[in-house]
Structure 1
Amino acid sequence: MKRFLQILAGLIVLILLLLLIIPSLFKGKIEQKVTEAINENITATVSFDKFSLSMFRHFPNLAMGLDGLTIVNKEPFAGDTLLHVGSFAASVDLWSAISGDGIQINSILLDSPKAWLKVNRDSVANWDIVPVTEEIEEVEEDTAAASDFAVRLKMFEIRDASFSFDDQTAALATSIDDLDAVMEGDLSQKATNLDLTTSIQRFNLQMEETKFVKDAFVSLDAIIGADLENMVFTFKENEFRFNDLSLGFDGTFGMVEEGYDMDLKLGAKETSFKTLLSMVPESYLKDFEELQTDGSLTLEAVAKGRYIDSDHLPAFNLVLNVKNGSIQYPDLPESIDDIQIDVIVDNPGGTADNTVTDINKFHFNLGSNPFDASLHIETPVSNATYKGNMKGAIDLESLADAIPMDSIELRGLITTNLTVDGDYSMVEKEQYEDIEANGKVSMKDFFFKTTDWPEGFKIATADLQITPRAMELITFQSSLGSSDFNLKGKVENYLSYALKDGVLQGRLDHSSRIVDTNELMQLSGEDTTQVEEDTTAMELVIVPKNLNFILNSNISRLIYDKLTMTNVKGEIRIVDGRVILDGLKSNMLNGSMLISGEYNTADTLRPFVNFDMALETIDIHQAVNSFSVVDSIMPIAKKAVGTVSTNLKFNSLIGNDMSPILSSINGGGLLNSKGVEISGAKVQNALATMLKNDKYKKARAEDLSVNYVLENGNVIVKPFTTNLFGKELTISGTQGLDQRLDYTIKMPVNRSELNNVAGLLGASVPSSVDNVMVNVLVQGTVKDPQLKFKLDDEFKDQAKEKLKEEVEKGVEKLMEDENVKKKVDEVKDKLRDLF
């Protein structure tokens, strides 16, 4: 017996040693194979912190683990994390793997997986990381011809998962946070029950700027009978919950060779109207728990038949019915009563074009005002046929007394009476006489105030007349802060625009007494400094290509930054992704401006502006104090007093912040002035210091005419002549993108002044010359100009001739002396005798 116990103990120790050693022997190879397989089959960077194998954790099963799995995208999402899994764990029946008949997986656990899914503007998805190869078909054929080897799973669990999805092509964003899911069932059997429990603590859905779902709770508890041999699933005990709305499923769902067979019925388990309201986001329906409601709910849906695609649908029917509903907040005086909703969506099967939608009734009372609407739509794909009406009044002050609105003040009366009856083919054929689309929408004494708009947005009156051809804005009188807007005009082709992405056309006349853009862009009650900071953080505005609008504008006073413009008049056209200004006039800076041109975003990758401007007698000092860009590019203008006129051609690419891309600026023009005085500029002070003469600190130019060119962002000044410091000067040069200066000022300088810079001239000056023509080289930068002096080349030639003349005159004067002349004659005689 003792011997037997010793042998048994030895075997146990040996087994334990093998269980400890075997995973270690194979761990490295398995880890290497996993890494190689992943990196060879995806176009992304994959890493993980730890890979583990153990026979003890789930003895006698093999436990595998992977911690910190991360997948990082390459171009065009370089550096973005696609997936991160906190840990992955699996328990595998070791003997099933050894037998070769298949692998029995007892459990799989994904702990804290997080995925960030994206689709960019070019419709490229960041999860598309598996390259397509020609070998796929061969792999599929090999798989089909494989043996009976199979993988069988008993339990799959996800803990604390989160996913986000952002589709820029559809302006769609959705997210799931704190997802837990457990699926149990013996997938090795031909028929089994799958026990599925799933919950999402926070589900969000947003399209454009509208949040349709915010922090909703979603769960599904279901026992599903699974015929795995025939792939038919039968819903037994189950409950789907969306916030407080509870739905139950009955029926079967089968996977067939082509499509899916279904015989399903859905119905609301609770019949309270409040459960339907729980689907409304909290931002639209505050303090839901305190809400008192009444009324009954019916929500049912059925689907029976085979689904293949949108042309082969099963028969389906949806019924939503609310009777005698009401909403009342206990702390508010008003309620919304007599809510009646009757909606039916029906399709007998076949194509999506067979779908008929009927909103037979939509009714409620708010205060003493009833509101009714109905709508019938059929053949939505081939030729949308519609018939409906909307009639009633909504007192917004009563609405604010019925629904809590934090920090919002709202009032005004909206009345509507609309009727529509027609189909889209009538719109395409412009058979407007056959379409019934008539009615009127009016608004009176509208007021909307929030913390962002403390001054409030007001619409004193607005009347919109609707016909099949056009929507005519008869009156629209509004104000936002100190700015006011009055509009009238027509909008045409709105049915084609709404139903089939047609081009919306229109013409509006706009007038305002004052428009303060600083206040409008500020959108808050902060100081002017903050406004200036906010206005720099602008984003590129893309002009829609399906708009064709003409706006005739007349603004008595327009404020932009520090600039005030008066009598702003002109025509603005919006067409084909362009905003075209046609002869826009205004008075500004004690002068006037006329501008024509365009802002063009037709090519969204290369938006640009192209303008012709004529500025007449503009006050320089006011211009500098109104446009910060003038001060940064030409600070000398801040020291100038006077008026200028210019004709300017300007074109440039536009960046994402709406600012011109400096390196792309081109154009040019002619600048004229009858008189400009400049005092104390840095160039003047440097000149006065070097020549030791304070008269250079002040200069006045008369009848100034400057021809300049804008080339790739650089300012090139063509040579021009003017009178400064009582002298005639010629100026030319260039100012670069980096604000470096390279100007030449050709000017006469008094000889006595040049004594201070004589060492800088590099040549001698005839003593008889009073004024020396020099080139003053202005270099350095706008903020730190540097001056150099150089004799003018033309003046050098003149100086040589002058010196020659002086020598000749000196010789002639010496010859007038009789003694000198006698000695010269003697020398001549001796030379003659010698030769």
Structure 2
Amino acid sequence: MKKAIYILLAIFSFLILSAVAIPIIFKDKIVAKINQELDESINATVYYNPQKISLSIFRSFPDVSAGLGDFGIIGKDEFEGDTLIQVDQLDLDFNLKSVLFGDYPMLTGLHLNGGDLYIKVLEDGTANYDITKSSDSESESSESNFRIGIEQIEVNHVNMIYDDRSLQFTMALADIMARGSGDFTLDVYDLPVKATATIADMSYEGTHYLTNKKFQGDATVQVDLENMKFSFENGKFGLNDFLFNMNGFVALPEEGVDYDLAFVAPDSDFKSFLSLVPGMYTESFSSIKSSGTMSFEGFIKGLYTDTSIPSFDINLQIKDGMFQYPELPKPVDKINVSMAIKNETSQLENTSIQIPTFSMNFGSNPISGNFTLQNLKDYLMEGELNGKLNLKELTSIFPIEGTSLAGNLDFSARAKGRYDSTNKVLPAIAAQFKFSEGYVKNAEYPAALEKIHAVASIRSDKGSMQDFVADFSSFGFELEGEKIEGNLKIADFEALNWKGAVAGAVDLEKIMAIFPIADTELKGKIQANINSTGSYQDVEKEQFSRINTSGDLTISQFFFKSKDYPQGVAIKQAKANFNPQRAELVEFDSKLGKSPLTASGFLSNYMDYLLSENGTLKGQLSLNSSYFDINEWMSESSTSTTDSSKLEVIALPKNIDFTMAVKADEVIYDNLNLKEVRGTMVLREGILSFNEAGMKTLDGRITLNGNYDPRDIANPKFDMSLDISELSIAKAFQSLTTVKAFAPIAKDITGRFNTKLNFSGLLGPDMMPVLSSLDVSGILAIAEAALKENKILEGLTSLTKLKDANTIQLRNIKVPISIENGMMEVKPFDVKLWDYQTTVQGTAGFDGSINYLLNMQVPAGKFGAQANSILASISGSQANESTLIPLSINLAGTYNQPKVSLAGGNSIETLLANALRSRFDSEKQNFQNQAQEQFQAAQDSIKNQLKLKAEMVQDSVKKELQKKTGESTEKVVQEAKSILKGVLKGTPKPTKPDTTSTKN
């Protein structure tokens, strides 16, 4: 017996040790096959943390489980940089037998734990999840290293954003928990699925339909892969507390989506529907008292394509609904709603909406109405809405913490007829609106906004745009003795004839105390007295003399600061006078961030600009500043310190035509300090032009003419002419990127230079010139300068054994230069290097490369003993110590690592011997002709290489700019991300290590 026990313990121990050892023994084999399969099948960048690879036989026994930590997939091509998926932990289950004894490991399970998923579909239908490599004839004949036999898929705590731009549909899901299992190897199989998530946001064509709703689902889906059909019966789903059953199928034929779905809410409790009302479903929702019944049912059936929609019929009934917050004395009761939305065809325009019943009581204040819309083609409608609201009583119904309200609102509205904007037809409308004795007080601020009142009426008796009248006969409020009063009347909805006035004063700080805005500081006083009478038809015809707008507007002690503008804008005093022709800016004393700015001038055509889509605002302004920091307003992150600021390309408005005379004592731009800035700038049609814009900088003066053209924001251009005088060469190297790239030798040159350059090219995302795109021509004039101690001089003296000097004096040099395709070309120019006449020519590339040829004429005696020895050996030589030796020297490599050599590869001894034995100047000239030919051949090769490099760099810059431009079109996605972040607030995410391994 004891022996049997020992044997059993031994067997058990062996099994345990085997279970531990097998994953370790076969770890490399499994990981290698995973990497191989990723390489062969996925067209994307896959990364994971090699320190977080784990294998276990216990996690998914009897399968072996492979875990990858910090796993992710990043797209390529049009999805470059987009992360498709990032998972904290990805676990893959494999059939143990297939790993140990088979050639093809069988994948049986997939587990995603923590992370984010971003699905993106472009306008043309291209999707970022389509990352499998397309098969060719060779790959089709070879078999994959994996077999798919997945039995279970599990998702835990994953967030997802689905961004389908072809449908203008965006959905953000938070904290997805899902589990599905089935025989995925079959063409038709049942897939039981359970899932929960928070719908953070769901929007279509920019409209947000669902926000922060809890979702749950439990269904068995029959999957028919051959027909791409997904069917389910008795599917149970829920949004918040609103539960509904759904049966039917969704299919994906070659074109569109085929629906056949029927749904019904089994719960008749009104409170379940109440949970869908925004703001109602909070932690205290369960304590809300409620009664009443509800029914909800409908169907969707048919094909959805670009030209058709499914038919549908959706019905909602609420009877005798009531809800009451437990801590408040009054309920909302007698809620009765009947609504049907129906379309029996495949065309959206045949949709009808019927709301025959809509009524409820807010305490003792009843509201009732009805509405009918026969279709979305000629918009034949009829409806009315009547009611009263007592705002003070409203606070006894809804919890409004920290705010006191009062006021009486009476309203009644009726409409009947057809709306047709093309034929200028309106329904007959009669609406009255009256609000009196309004009062708002915030507990955090002692003053109240009071005596709020408004009286308005809207009428169109004949149902035409011509007899439409909207009359806001009076509106206003009072805040601590300061009043605002106004009126506005608009007649003829087509001509838009208006007459209105507003007068009074308002303290913005007091308004903000009552109605605070998050992350925003706003204060100051506005005094206005403006009257206006006119017609929009006169604006369109530019008959501004028929528009009578007059008055004045004064702003004092204004300050604005927000999350987007942390620099802050302060206006000490500003005053503007208005007349029909223009608005005169009489005074404007401000501080933009830390930069003081005063302005005066006028604006014309302001009525057309304000009231039409295509109106252009014109004007002349004089801007003056003692100090202006441009970096502060061009930073990507808008930080208060300019050291970490990152400049960005700025788009300019096309509907502003301004001429601006600028005068500034000091301007900070990037790393340049500009003094005595003067000039004229014109902003017109989206282009900023500079005219005689002069400034002192780098110990000299620059005058600028030209323009900045960002109309194509993905391809911004500039075209300038520069007149530079007495600029410090050393400081130009320190501050100007172009000088650093193309003339790094300037680092070791002291002195000044003058030049006139024509300068054009592209700007990068950081507002700096793209060096590879520059097109420059001009003459660089150096009156006097000195080149001191640098590697090129060291190389020259070492090679030639000439006069060992560490300084070269440069006087009265004119260097013709041009830059094209990323290469600066220096045309041949003469200069004295030490005491020797020299012709210099060559190129410098934007990539730091140099290629120069120096043709020198050096007296033979300067070579010392070498030359004397050769002279003595030449019998009857016509050469002597004053004979000029043609010396051709190549400078290649880079400025920091120059390669100095004699042209042709000769040694200095061979060169001297050949030159001294020659008798005629023509022979001497041949040496340099040969050197010139060799140099030119090298130049042509370098030009071609640099041109290719330049094109690649420019393409890269354009892609980066296009990506930044595309970001501005992702507003809906950014909103979804922001909402998703708000939903997940308070849920810490693990810190991710930097060590990752990248595949593909």
How big is the shift at 1:376? 1.3
Letter in 1 for 2:661: N
* Partner secondary structure for residue 332 of structure 1: coil
Which residue of structure 2 aligns with residue 370 of structure 1?
483
Contact 1:221 1:238 survives alignment (8 Å): no
Distance 1:163 1:362 in 2: 37
Distance 1:159 1:797 in 2: 83
Which residue of structure 2 aligns with residue 531 of structure 1?
642
How big is the shift at 1:638? 1.8
**Number of residue pairs aligned between Structure 1 and Structure 2:** 642
Distance 2:551 2:417 in 1: 42
Q: Please identify the structure whose Cα radius of gyration is greater.
A: 1
Residues 243-291 of structure 1, C-alpha deviations (whole Å, 9 max, x = no match): x9x9966325253696454333335675317969x99xxxxxxx96211
Residues 429-470 of structure 1, C-alpha deviations (whole Å, 9 max, x = no match): 444443220000012233446788788543222110000000
Which residue of structure 2 aligns with residue 390 of structure 1?
502
Contact 1:198 1:221 survives alignment (8 Å): no
- Among 624, 646, 656, the residue aligned to 1:547: 656
* Partner secondary structure for residue 768 of structure 2: coil
Residues 773-828 of structure 1, C-alpha deviations (whole Å, 9 max, x = no match): 322211113443222222699x999976852659xxxxxxxxxxxxxxxxxxxxxx
Seen in structure 2, the aligned counterparts of structure 1 residues 161 and 460 have a Cα distance that, compared at 3 Å, is closer
How big is the shift at 1:355? 3.9
Instruction: Tell me whether 1:292 sits opposite 2:407 in the alignment.
Output: no
Distance 1:174 1:227 in 2: 16
Contact 2:576 2:584 survives alignment (8 Å): yes
Contact 2:729 2:751 survives alignment (8 Å): yes
Contact 1:158 1:182 survives alignment (8 Å): no
Gaps of 5+ in 1: 1-66, 83-111, 129-156, 204-218, 280-286, 759-763, 807-835
Letter in 2 for 1:176: T
Seen in structure 2, the aligned counterparts of structure 1 residues 356 and 572 have a Cα distance that, compared at 3 Å, is same
Seen in structure 2, the aligned counterparts of structure 1 residues 797 and 420 have a Cα distance that, compared at 3 Å, is same
Which residue of structure 2 aligns with residue 650 of structure 1?
759
Which residue of structure 2 aligns with residue 777 of structure 1?
890
Describe how 1:159-178 pairs up with structure 2 within 5 A.
Answer: 160-161=198-199, 163-165=201-203, 176-178=211-213
Residues 197-223 of structure 1, C-alpha deviations (whole Å, 9 max, x = no match): 4765779xxxxxxxxxxxxxxx99845
* Partner secondary structure for residue 401 of structure 2: helix
Describe how 1:233-312 pairs up with structure 2 within 5 A.
Answer: 233-236=354-357, 250-253=369-372, 255=374, 259-267=378-386, 270-272=389-391, 289-307=401-419, 311=423, 312=425
- Among 413, 438, 444, the residue aligned to 2:550: 438
Contact 1:73 1:126 survives alignment (8 Å): no
How big is the shift at 1:386? 0.8
Distance 2:119 2:341 in 1: 36
* Partner secondary structure for residue 686 of structure 1: helix
Contact 1:117 1:166 survives alignment (8 Å): no
Letter in 2 for 1:340: H
- Among 788, 794, 803, the residue aligned to 2:917: 803
Which residue of structure 2 aligns with residue 517 of structure 1?
630
Which residue of structure 1 aligns with residue 670 of structure 2?
561
Letter in 2 for 1:517: I
Contact 1:551 1:573 survives alignment (8 Å): yes
How big is the shift at 1:696? 4.5
Which residue of structure 2 aligns with residue 464 of structure 1?
576
Distance 2:502 2:866 in 1: 88
How big is the shift at 1:401? 5.2
* Partner secondary structure for residue 622 of structure 1: helix
Contact 2:412 2:433 survives alignment (8 Å): yes
How big is the shift at 1:718? 0.5
Q: Structure 1 stretch 316-325 or stretch 563-572: which is displaced more? A: 316-325
Instruction: Tell me whether 1:572 sits opposite 2:681 in the alignment.
Output: yes
How big is the shift at 1:366? 1.5
Instruction: Tell me whether 1:787 sits opposite 2:900 in the alignment.
Output: yes
Which residue of structure 1 aligns with residue 289 of structure 2?
none
Which residue of structure 1 aligns with residue 606 of structure 2?
494
How big is the shift at 1:412? 3.2
- Among 447, 459, 463, the residue aligned to 1:334: 447
Describe how 1:54-203 pairs up with structure 2 within 5 A.
Answer: 73=121, 76=124, 78-79=126-127, 116=162, 126=168, 160-161=198-199, 163-165=201-203, 176-178=211-213, 180=239, 197=273
Distance 1:698 1:738 in 2: 27
Which residue of structure 1 aligns with residue 533 of structure 2?
421
Letter in 2 for 1:393: A
Distance 2:811 2:861 in 1: 27
Distance 1:201 1:687 in 2: 83
Seen in structure 2, the aligned counterparts of structure 1 residues 502 and 254 have a Cα distance that, compared at 3 Å, is closer
Instruction: Tell me whether 1:626 sits opposite 2:739 in the alignment.
Output: no
Contact 2:169 2:203 survives alignment (8 Å): no
* Partner secondary structure for residue 390 of structure 2: coil
Which residue of structure 2 aligns with residue 322 of structure 1?
435
Q: Structure 1 stretch 71-80 or stretch 747-756: which is displaced more? A: 747-756
Gaps of 5+ in 2: 1-110, 131-157, 171-194, 215-238, 248-260, 280-295, 297-315, 319-336, 345-351, 868-872, 921-1000
- Among 468, 473, 482, the residue aligned to 2:585: 473
Residues 556-608 of structure 1, C-alpha deviations (whole Å, 9 max, x = no match): 22222332222211111111221111111122222211111111234555432
Contact 1:439 1:465 survives alignment (8 Å): yes
* Partner secondary structure for residue 297 of structure 1: strand
Letter in 2 for 1:531: T
Distance 2:160 2:379 in 1: 31
* Partner secondary structure for residue 417 of structure 1: strand
Distance 2:478 2:843 in 1: 73
* Partner secondary structure for residue 641 of structure 1: strand
Letter in 2 for 1:459: I
Contact 1:113 1:160 survives alignment (8 Å): no
Describe how 1:820-835 pairs up with structure 2 within 5 A.
Answer: none
- Among 571, 585, 608, the residue aligned to 2:717: 608
* Partner secondary structure for residue 608 of structure 2: helix
How big is the shift at 1:503? 1.8
Which residue of structure 2 aligns with residue 102 of structure 1?
none
Seen in structure 2, the aligned counterparts of structure 1 residues 247 and 704 have a Cα distance that, compared at 3 Å, is farther
Distance 1:756 1:446 in 2: 83
Distance 1:605 1:404 in 2: 38
How big is the shift at 1:302? 3.5
* Partner secondary structure for residue 289 of structure 1: coil
Letter in 2 for 1:549: F
Residues 623-670 of structure 1, C-alpha deviations (whole Å, 9 max, x = no match): 223335533443321222100001010111334443333333212110
Seen in structure 2, the aligned counterparts of structure 1 residues 318 and 724 have a Cα distance that, compared at 3 Å, is farther
Distance 1:201 1:691 in 2: 89
- Among 728, 735, 752, the residue aligned to 2:844: 735
Letter in 1 for 2:537: S
Seen in structure 2, the aligned counterparts of structure 1 residues 348 and 654 have a Cα distance that, compared at 3 Å, is farther
Which residue of structure 2 aligns with residue 94 of structure 1?
none
- Among 322, 328, 338, the residue aligned to 1:224: 338
Question: Equivalent pairs: percent with the same residue?
Answer: 24
Higher relative contact order (CA 8 A, sep 6+): 2
Contact 1:316 1:346 survives alignment (8 Å): yes
Distance 1:544 1:387 in 2: 30
Distance 1:482 1:384 in 2: 43
Seen in structure 2, the aligned counterparts of structure 1 residues 386 and 769 have a Cα distance that, compared at 3 Å, is same
RMSD of equivalent CA atoms = 4.9
* Partner secondary structure for residue 738 of structure 1: coil
Distance 2:418 2:197 in 1: 35
Which residue of structure 2 aligns with residue 704 of structure 1?
813
How big is the shift at 1:732? 0.8
Seen in structure 2, the aligned counterparts of structure 1 residues 256 and 588 have a Cα distance that, compared at 3 Å, is closer
Seen in structure 2, the aligned counterparts of structure 1 residues 321 and 372 have a Cα distance that, compared at 3 Å, is same
Contact 1:313 1:350 survives alignment (8 Å): yes
Seen in structure 2, the aligned counterparts of structure 1 residues 484 and 127 have a Cα distance that, compared at 3 Å, is closer
Instruction: Tell me whether 1:359 sits opposite 2:493 in the alignment.
Output: no
How big is the shift at 1:494? 0.7
Letter in 1 for 2:528: T
